[in-house]
Structure 1
Amino acid sequence: MQNNDWWKGGVIYQIYPRSFMDSNGDGIGDLPGITAKLDYVASLGVDGIWLSPFFTSPMKDFGYDVSDYRGVDPLFGTLDDFRALVAKAHELGLRVTIDQVLSHTADVHPWFRESRQNRDNAKADWYVWADPKPDGTPPNNWLSIFGGSAWTFDSRRQQYYLHNFLTSQPDLNFHNPDVRQAQLDNMRFWLDLGVNGFRLDTVNFYFHNAALTDNPPVPQGGAKTLGAPATNPYTWQRHVHDLSQPENLLFLQDIRRLLDEYPGATSVGEIGDDNPLERMAEYTSGNDKLHMAYTFDLLNTPRSPEYIREVIERFRSIAGDAWPCWALSNHDVVRSATRWGAEKGAEEGADYAKVILAMQMALRGSVCLYQGEELGLPEAEVPFERIQDPYGIPFWPEFKGRDGCRTPMVWQQAPQGGFSEVEPWLPVDERHLALSVAQQEASEDSMLQAMRRFICWRREQPALLKGDLELLQNTGEMLCWIRRTPEQALLVAINLTSSELTQPYTGPVTLLQGHGFSGTVVNEQIVLPPYQALFAEI
């Protein structure tokens, strides 16, 4: 636990508490359930965990609507349960990062209850309030990601309040220094409890344009880059005034100064932006803002070698000393095994799922691994009558929401997947049962065992942890790059296709073993069977 640079090149395992392990038989995962399964998480060879929200909340957005930043919701346990979780994680050598939803609160938060009473109370300016236009319509054209206007009228103040998400998630006014300080104090509370860092939800949403300028439309034929379904009108605007404002950089520096008081503490920011890689570079450069950030560039549908190469090239051209954190799946998007491999058969799909994770872990940066990803779980089918996600219901059926990636973790091939003794809050997909932890632990050839071997092997390769990346050109369908540190240079080659690929490569190579892939070099040719990789010292 003395490695303060642990996050750089590290693998962070994301846990969605509602769906990880139910310890008390109410059908909802909880903190004691997580603690009971930390030995399994540690066995994967990961460096730490990230816990999605477990704070006190009305749960209209399943914890991303916080009503007490320092409380544990009774659904998940108590503050003592959290202390026990941190102690067990640290005992196992795992760092603990937790979500911080700073940009908005629940509408039942005491701050908002006071703010909405009138225009001259102590919290009157803690949220984003604005007068209607003369005709009574909202102050501008900003939209909510969850559908409709980003403004809701409040009869008491005779004003609109801003909400980038649900109407029950009012946005805080970060132009107010008291708001900024209150959130820094809330973060300090968790750092004092032993937390090792934060995943910062919607980190570029804190500030808004104070003049409330309308957003321009996306030009006809222009790319829609934000992490929302194309059917959502939110993607029809260029979001130049409602998020990613220049003042945000100063607040990120405030956060960094706080974290620097706690050796080894880190931060990873979630960025949804029209120019996501540029924003990632801006937010993580200079060693004075975020430690890491991730975008939706690898969390969307494009998955061709050309697209991945373009993402790598674009980031390299703007990154400087910026440090990314790459994710292929999380609690907001269709699982990568389905999103990138839906057309593949079961056996082919398993091989594909392995090689895309190997590719992710061979990029320059850190890694977020979402629970169940190590099992190769496909997106679960959740019937409409069981949908819980407030984002999915209004856009059904073109967009089915996020429940399919949030279904319970499968521990055993048993009723409810060993997650709970009762019907869980979301149904267990029958296809998941054969991929349970117990089933895969029993097979040396399973996805789980392959990922465990690869993660542990990767930890011994300095170039994969912290090395620079040089992309090799003109390699066609094969992805090729070199990772380099002063003590090691590694050639990496990845085949994401169903065909054998070859590529000329001259120069001495020493093939590495122990990573589980079968790529080789024959007569100055890299030879990669379908869904295979090569790792060689050069």
Structure 2
Amino acid sequence: MTTSSIPSQTPDKDWWRGAVIYQIYPRSYQDSNGDGIGDLKGITSRLQHVASLGADAIWISPFFKSPMKDFGYDVSDYRDIDPIFGDLADFDALIAEAHRLGIRVMIDLVISHSSDKHPWFVESRSSRDNPKGDWYVWADAKPDGTPPNNWLSIFGGTAWAWDPTRMQYYMHNFLTSQPDLNLHNPDVQDALLDMTRFWLERGVDGFRLDTINFYFHDKLLRDNPSLAPERRNASTAPAVNPYNFQEHLYDKNRPENLEFLKRFRAVMEEFPAIAAVGEVGDSQRGLEIVGEYTSGGDKMHMCYAFEFLAPDQLTPARVAEVQHAFAAAAPEGWACWAFSNHDVVRHISRWGADVADRDAYAKMLSSLLMSQRGSVCIYQGEELGLTEADIAFEDLQDPYGIQFWPEFKGRDGCRTPMVWEENAPQAGFSTAGTTWLPIPQDHRTRAVDTQAGRDGSVMEHYRRFLAFRRLHPAFAKGGIAFEPAQGNVLVFTREHGNERLLCMFNMGAMPATGGMPEGDWETLEGHGFEARRDGNTIELPAWGGFFARAA
């Protein structure tokens, strides 16, 4: 076991505020043993890439033992590594190498539900009166044999599955093989918190908490009310999913969660400089819940909702609207923003399907993301400007896509293997003849080796802008204030201490002109954009940016 820490660095309990976190989907990052699936040794071998970008931390999606029905988000042993990914010694080596490189490690905890193969559930379903009988959410059928209420699963259909041994239904917000844990039971909470300590003692620096607002259900099992069509929002579930037809008042978002999050935070406080980010999945109250979960300094350090992961087109008005809404909903809170992750269509495709110069578009969006108030998550391949892969139905692995095909193609298109070398077998990801998902040919031309050191590449722009960002603490820690809209030109300032920065982005496909706020502004260089300044007028190329500092 290792309890290593980042060398030559006094623990900074505030490191997470404004951090840039690089998300790694382990199945698809690097395969070290030739089986076509990425693993922990593969991640370790590629950490230099993350360090060269300038990220502060990595978030690794689940690698625990699992039947892989939902590719690791169905855990059967919270304290061990699935053999697909390696073993605990491989994880310890990964921690040690990351810390040597100055990178913090956050892991993905999935504690709203487990796999139905977890020993806890195997025991729980064996009878109604066993010691773990109420560790999961069990309920009797209605007199006519139908489920206890109208709750729905995100993966389609009822959120209840019948168990013939107990002659009861169990709740599953996701797949039937992912039963929901009953966190109303203090023994369940204690077991999950003990597991959290296990990973903290191994040296992890923090957590990403999956579906953090799903931890508790209504004890009375009350029906969710219906949702008027005009209030339906497809940010949490695809538009074809009837999950959107309900207001989820009782199957998640319960007030009891606040006390559990305080318990979770107290465990983290037993260790130096630990941080957690929670995923809030709710299409109506997402930012409000983020505000609740990050208030008071005694729950989550930061959370993210789905505002910037939704299909809604990104415009100057949308950026300002989201930041204003967050400030109103969470005045004490801190956001962690992302444009892409392992669950949504890559943002270059989601927003830029009709964009001609996708490289310029990708650079503008990356800098816009890293200029927002809040911490930032970058998803692997985003730094290459990767687009969503088009996966044939016969190659699909994701049960979500298989269920709703073809209207919703699932999440495989953003999960294809990382491309390292354009002309190597399997683009340098694996020596296997076949990889778990196919590698698109057009991704190969964007491989790391084609972009490294090439001035003007998307990857080099990420590196340059991250270095520029580190020079200016206002980006990481400062407040944000928006100027009046100027067509496609977004203008805002970031301020921290004695530093005030001006940020201007042309979010349009045509050159545009923007006016700077009154004041004496010094033009800043080194961020990768070119613009022409004439007094307080800035001429921005399509997808261009401009930065200045108050003199």
What is the TM-score with the length of structure 2 in the denominator? Answer: 0.96
Query: Using the alignment, how far apart are the partners of 1:393 and 1:239 within structure 2?
Result: 25
Where does 1:129-140 land on structure 2 (aligned, <5 Å)? Answer: 129-140=138-149
Q: 2:21 aligns with which of 4, 8, 12?
A: 12
Could you tell me which residue of structure 2 aligns to residue 323 of structure 1? 334
Is the counterpart of residue 437 in structure 1 residue 424 in structure 2? no
Could you tell me which residue of structure 2 aligns to residue 97 of structure 1? 106
Could you tell me which residue of structure 2 aligns to residue 388 of structure 1? 397
Q: 1:475 aligns with which of 443, 467, 486?
A: 486
Is the counterpart of residue 285 in structure 1 residue 310 in structure 2? no
Q: Is the 8 A contact 1:462 1:487 kept in 2?
A: no
Could you tell me which residue of structure 2 aligns to residue 535 of structure 1? 547
Is the counterpart of residue 450 in structure 1 residue 479 in structure 2? no
Is the counterpart of residue 371 in structure 1 residue 380 in structure 2? yes
Where does 1:32-71 land on structure 2 (aligned, <5 Å)? Answer: 32-71=41-80
Q: 2:533 aligns with which of 514, 521, 538?
A: 521
Displacement of 1:442 in angstroms is: 4.2
Query: Which amino acid is 1:49 matched to?
Result: I
Q: Structure 1, residues 478-537: CA drift from partner, whole Å, max 9, x if none?
A: 211111111200011111111222233322111111111123432322332210111111
Is the counterpart of residue 295 in structure 1 residue 305 in structure 2? yes
Could you tell me which residue of structure 2 aligns to residue 485 of structure 1? 496
Q: Is the 8 A contact 1:99 1:200 kept in 2?
A: yes
Query: Using the alignment, how far apart are the partners of 1:261 and 1:100 within structure 2?
Result: 18
Q: Is the 8 A contact 2:172 2:178 kept in 1?
A: yes
Q: Structure 1, residues 189-220: CA drift from partner, whole Å, max 9, x if none?
A: 00000000000000000000111111111113
Could you tell me which residue of structure 1 aligns to residue 239 of structure 2? 230
Could you tell me which residue of structure 1 aligns to residue 3 of structure 2? none
Query: Using the alignment, how far apart are the partners of 2:330 and 2:305 within structure 1?
Result: 13
Query: Using the alignment, how far apart are the partners of 1:519 and 1:222 within structure 2?
Result: 41
Is the counterpart of residue 190 in structure 1 residue 199 in structure 2? yes
Q: Is the 8 A contact 1:19 1:407 kept in 2?
A: yes
Displacement of 1:225 in angstroms is: 5.2
- Compare 505-514 and 61-70 and name the one that shifted more: 505-514
Query: Using the alignment, how far apart are the partners of 1:410 and 1:226 within structure 2?
Result: 28
Where does 1:244-393 land on structure 2 (aligned, <5 Å)? Answer: 244-273=253-282, 274-302=284-312, 303-345=314-356, 348-393=357-402
**What's the % identity of the aligned pairs?**
55
Displacement of 1:51 in angstroms is: 0.4
Q: Is the 8 A contact 1:35 1:88 kept in 2?
A: yes
Query: Which amino acid is 1:511 matched to?
Result: T
Where does 1:119-134 land on structure 2 (aligned, <5 Å)? Answer: 119-134=128-143
Could you tell me which residue of structure 2 aligns to residue 496 of structure 1? 507
Q: Is the 8 A contact 1:224 1:236 kept in 2?
A: no
Query: Using the alignment, how far apart are the partners of 2:462 and 2:200 within structure 1?
Result: 31
Aligned CA RMSD, in angstroms, stands at 1.0
Q: Is the 8 A contact 2:235 2:310 kept in 1?
A: no
Q: 1:178 aligns with which of 173, 184, 187?
A: 187
Query: Using the alignment, how far apart are the partners of 2:199 and 2:231 within structure 1?
Result: 42
Could you tell me which residue of structure 2 aligns to residue 144 of structure 1? 153
Displacement of 1:141 in angstroms is: 0.4
Displacement of 1:413 in angstroms is: 0.6
Q: 1:405 aligns with which of 397, 414, 438?
A: 414
Query: Using the alignment, how far apart are the partners of 1:474 and 1:299 within structure 2?
Result: 23
Query: Which amino acid is 1:454 matched to?
Result: F
Query: Using the alignment, how far apart are the partners of 1:459 and 1:16 within structure 2?
Result: 26
Report the secondary structure of 1:96's partner residue.
strand
Displacement of 1:333 in angstroms is: 0.4
Q: Structure 1, residues 112-156: CA drift from partner, whole Å, max 9, x if none?
A: 000001110000000000000110000000000000000001011
Query: Using the alignment, how far apart are the partners of 1:36 and 1:494 within structure 2?
Result: 36
- Compare 413-422 and 245-254 and name the one that shifted more: 413-422
Q: Is the 8 A contact 1:500 1:530 kept in 2?
A: yes
Query: Using the alignment, how far apart are the partners of 2:285 and 2:532 within structure 1?
Result: 38
Query: Using the alignment, how far apart are the partners of 1:139 and 1:434 within structure 2?
Result: 53
Could you tell me which residue of structure 2 aligns to residue 201 of structure 1? 210
Query: Using the alignment, how far apart are the partners of 1:520 and 1:300 within structure 2?
Result: 33
Aligned residues: 536
Q: Structure 1, residues 439-484: CA drift from partner, whole Å, max 9, x if none?
A: 1014122111111010111011111010011111243322111111
Q: Is the 8 A contact 1:511 1:520 kept in 2?
A: no
Query: Using the alignment, how far apart are the partners of 1:399 and 1:210 within structure 2?
Result: 33
Q: Structure 1, residues 387-444: CA drift from partner, whole Å, max 9, x if none?
A: 0001000100110000000000000012311100111100001000010001101412
Structure 1 runs, 4 residues or longer, greater than 6 Å off: none
Report the secondary structure of 1:482's partner residue.
strand
Query: Using the alignment, how far apart are the partners of 1:485 and 1:151 within structure 2?
Result: 50
Report the secondary structure of 2:208's partner residue.
strand
Query: Using the alignment, how far apart are the partners of 1:139 and 1:518 within structure 2?
Result: 61
Q: Is the 8 A contact 1:226 1:235 kept in 2?
A: no
Displacement of 1:309 in angstroms is: 2.0
Query: Using the alignment, how far apart are the partners of 2:102 and 2:279 within structure 1?
Result: 25
Structure 2 unmatched runs, 5+:
1-5
Query: Using the alignment, how far apart are the partners of 1:131 and 1:145 within structure 2?
Result: 22
Query: Which amino acid is 2:50 matched to?
Result: V
Displacement of 1:319 in angstroms is: 2.1
Query: Which amino acid is 2:322 matched to?
Result: V
Displacement of 1:314 in angstroms is: 1.0
